[in-house]
Amino acid sequence: MTDSAFATDAFVQSQIAHWMRELGSVRRLAPKTLEAYGRDIGQFMSFLAGHMGGPVSLQSLRELRGADIRAFMAQRREESLGSRSLARVLSALKSFFAFLERENVLVTEALNAIRTPKMSRSLPKALTVLEAKKTIAATGEMEAEPWVAARDMAVISLCYGAGLRIAEALALTRADLETDVLRVTGKGGKVRMVPLIAPVRRAIEDYLKLSPYKTWEDEPLFRGVKGGVLSPRLIQQRMQQLRSALGLPPSATPHALRHSFATHLLGKGGDLRAIQELLGHASLSTTQIYTAVDTERLMESYAKAHPRG
CA distances from 192 to 4, 168, 172, 290 (A): 38, 11, 12, 20
187 is catalytic: yes
Determine the Cα–Cα distance for residues 201 and 181; give it in Å rounded to an integer: 9
DSSP state of 107: -
Q: Determine the Cα angle at 283 with ends 281 and 288, to 5°.
A: 85
Answer for the pair 154, 254: CB distance below 8 angstroms, yes or no. no
> Which of 37, 160, 207, 290 does the annotation list as catalytic?
290
213 is catalytic: no
Determine the Cα–Cα distance for residues 253 and 259; give it in Å rounded to an integer: 10
CA distances from 49 to 33, 56, 70, 244, 248 (A): 24, 6, 15, 50, 50
Q: Determine the Cα angle at 82 with ends 54 and 117, to 5°.
A: 80
> Which of 238, 258, 259, 264 does the annotation list as catalytic?
258
Residue 145 corresponds to which amino acid? E
> Which of 77, 174, 183, 255 does the annotation list as catalytic?
255
> Which of 165, 201, 259, 264 does the annotation list as catalytic?
165
Answer for the pair 172, 221: CB distance below 8 angstroms, yes or no. yes
281 is catalytic: yes
290 is catalytic: yes
> Which of 18, 70, 187, 192 does the annotation list as catalytic?
187
Answer for the pair 16, 4: CB distance below 8 angstroms, yes or no. yes
* Residues listed for the chain: 309
Answer for the pair 300, 123: CB distance below 8 angstroms, yes or no. no
For the annotated catalytic residues, the residue numbers are 165, 187, 255, 258, 281, 290
